[in-house]
A and B are shown apart, each in its own frame.
Chain A
Amino acid sequence: MRRPAALSGIAFALIAAAPLPPYTPAYEPTGVDERGMWMQADEAERQMRDSPFVLRDPALNAYVRGILCRTVGQDRCQSTRLYIQRLPIFNATMYPNGMMTVWSGLLLRVRNEAELGAVLGHEFGHFEQRHSLEGFKRARGLGDLLTWTALLSPTLYSSMATSAIGGFYSFSRGQETEADLLGLAYLAQSPYPAASAAPVWERLMAEADATAAGRKRKVKAHRYSAGFFASHPTELTRATYLRDAAAKANDPGYPAAAAYRAALAPFIGDFLTDQIKLNDFGGTDYLLGQLAADGWTPDLLYARAELYRQRGNPRDLVSAAQFYQQAIDGGFAGAEAQRGLGLSLLRSQQLDAGKEALRRYLDATPAAPDAAMIGALVGQ
């Protein structure tokens, strides 16, 4: 915790295989700035603790926490509290006081324990290196500098302001790189293979491409150079240096994919429902394809059917009906598959088959909130 944070992004490429910094258990903040930041984070954590967005399932929480602890080590993980938030976006956050948030969109996108460990290790790296404090001081210094120069020498201000602001974002990217490589160092010392870190970013690039294509936007080339105001390095840069560092670490390990799928199985349906509501056909279809790498489960087929029915072109409804039927044949438990099947068939001019499916839905769930509306469709 005491090592000074290096400031240049280039320097970090050298520390990849370095041993972990010495760890201080039960660290207490020192100095006005750090104590103030911890106080703010403590207030934020009070709100997080009571937030309705937090998933409180004890088994899931214990499982995700176990992955963090196996990645960074039992002693280190004692200093964190972990909150799983139901938010369909790929993200995790770290607060200076040791509060970590893990978003459901992240849980949906990683394929195994090791990949999740890679991201959680990155977040823990921010905490261990006290990046929030350094970033706070840097931001304050930048504000002070710009204010003084704007006041004392407008000429100097106009010539240096841009580079000073750019320097701040470059510093932020340096912190992210440092956290990436520290996260990789945790992974290399854990039961998980360090090689699991890079594929996360590679798939994120592919998903972004699929999203752009699905929205009829230009698929941009992925670059190494980050934008001027980018707080993080580009995905391509991260994937590349993580892959290089993992090759150097060359550690054996077991990514635990089957255990991950089993632990997440009760939640995947909800997470997919959230994802589909993002109205991102291309990205979601790509994601479903990734999740179905080892075969289409009834849950995944149902989600794909919902996705196609949502887009709703005539050809999509034919595909949707097919996916619903496959989900039902595969043993999908919920009656909502019959509902989706019926609605898709009705809108594909297959009136009798559609009404039949809707009747099966009503028979299975007579008290459904939309029973009256569906009843009107089938003429009951």
Chain B
Amino acid sequence: MRVFFKSLVAVALLAAALPTAAQEKTGNKPGFTLTPGTARIVLMRPSIRVGEQSTGGMFEPNADWTLQARDMLGRAIGSVQGQLGNSVVDLVEPVGADASALAEYQALFTTLADSVIVYQFFPGNRLPTKKRKGQFSWTLGPGVASLPGLKGADYALFVTTDDQFGSAGRKAVQLLAALGGVGITSGVHKGFAGLVDIRTGDLVWLNADLQMGGDVRTEEGAQKRVAQLFEGFPGRPVPSATGQ
């Protein structure tokens, strides 16, 4: 009758090395161009978690690191988009029935992004309807336009990062296993970012990377991470972080 750790053992035991197959990272809606001038972008509350990976491969959440990353990534996103000439504001979280509607669209975006990653970015796994070359046709539907807090904005930006730093034990196991010729991964650094056109609900850009760089707990690392997150962002090229 308690949800929390029942599945963790199974996860810990199964979290062996995932194959990193040849995979595309970025998709753009063909023919899409960002609104000229200053695009007004609303940043939805990013999903960020930072912690350690235990020796057995279990995620160990770390509240301090997550808080630092939330702070650093937020600032880096604002600064990168500012350099692109766009303005980014954080979504003001609504209450009541509005909050429910927003929560459903947040969940829908996660499902959509997962679908793009699984059924479009892996060329061998493409759905028959997604096989035509150069197409990128995914949408949340026009209901996005009526969501609270998005009035007057052009785009909604969704950002998700998942960082699990290999613990000392995990690194030791990795080293030892490598000596025996067994490959064990240490650490997980995943992230994706997507841009939704508020007027149509169309997903106009998605970037997903299962092996990202940049230590999100530090300012420079967060800047590097955000530069990677925004690779392929429509419009002008993204300035890479200084000194990286």
Query: Is the beta-carbon distance between A139 and B99 smaller than 8 angstroms?
Result: no
In the complex, what residues of A have CB within 8 A of residue B56's CB?
A: 140, 142-147
The minimal Cβ–Cβ distance linking A151 to chain B, given in whole angstroms, is 6
Give residues of chain B (3-37) contacting chain A, Cβ–Cβ below 8 Å: 3-6, 8-9, 12-13
Whole-angstrom distance between the alpha carbons of A138 and B5 in the complex?
A: 9
Whole-angstrom distance between the alpha carbons of A138 and B54 in the complex?
A: 12
Give residues of chain A (179-227) contacting chain B, Cβ–Cβ below 8 Å: none
Interface assignment of B102: CB less than 8 Å from any CB of chain A: yes
Identify B1's interface contact among A38, A123, A148, A151, CB under 8 A. Answer: A123
Interface assignment of B2: CB less than 8 Å from any CB of chain A: yes
Query: Is the beta-carbon distance between A126 and B2 smaller than 8 angstroms?
Result: yes
Whole-angstrom distance between the alpha carbons of A152 and B62 in the complex?
A: 29
- Given A142-B12, A146-B13, A147-B57, check contact A232 B51 (CB 8 Å): no
Query: Is the beta-carbon distance between B177 and A151 smaller than 8 angstroms?
Result: yes
In the complex, what residues of B have CB within 8 A of residue A36's CB?
A: 51, 60-63, 66
Query: Is the beta-carbon distance between A139 and B49 smaller than 8 angstroms?
Result: no
The minimal Cβ–Cβ distance linking B173 to chain A, given in whole angstroms, is 6
Give residues of chain B (180-231) contacting chain A, Cβ–Cβ below 8 Å: 180
In the complex, what residues of B have CB within 8 A of residue A43's CB?
A: 49
Query: Is the beta-carbon distance between A143 and B57 smaller than 8 angstroms?
Result: yes
Identify A132's interface contact among B5, B54, B64, CB under 8 A. Answer: B5
- Given A122-B1, A131-B2, check contact A143 B66 (CB 8 Å): no
Closest chain B residue, CB of each to CB of A29: B63
Closest chain B residue, CB of each to CB of A146: B56
Interface assignment of B176: CB less than 8 Å from any CB of chain A: yes
- Given A39-B66, A49-B99, A143-B9, check contact A33 B1 (CB 8 Å): no
Interface assignment of B125: CB less than 8 Å from any CB of chain A: no
Size of interface on B: residues with Cβ below 8 Å to A = 33
Query: Is the beta-carbon distance between A52 and B173 smaller than 8 angstroms?
Result: no
Whole-angstrom distance between the alpha carbons of A33 and B13 in the complex?
A: 20
Q: What string of 1s and 0s marks CB contacts (under 8 Å) between A136-169 and chain B? A: 1011101111111001100000000000010010
Interface assignment of B68: CB less than 8 Å from any CB of chain A: no
Query: Is the beta-carbon distance between B63 and A139 smaller than 8 angstroms?
Result: no
Query: Is the beta-carbon distance between A40 and B58 smaller than 8 angstroms?
Result: no
- Given A38-B63, A151-B177, check contact A94 B49 (CB 8 Å): no
Interface assignment of A361: CB less than 8 Å from any CB of chain B: no
Question: Which has the most chain B C-beta neighbours within 10 Å: A94, A138, A143, A165?
Answer: A143
The minimal Cβ–Cβ distance linking B216 to chain A, given in whole angstroms, is 15
Q: Which 4 A-B residue pairings sit nearest by Cβ, starting from the closest?
A: A143-B56, A36-B61, A143-B12, A50-B103
Chain B positions near chain A (C-beta within 8 angstroms): 1-6, 8-9, 12-13, 49, 51, 54-58, 60-64, 66, 99-100, 102-104, 169, 173, 176-177, 180
Q: Told that A140-B12, A147-B56, A147-B57 touch, could you supply 6 new A-B pairs with CB distance under 8 A?
A: A36-B60, A36-B66, A41-B4, A95-B4, A140-B8, A151-B176
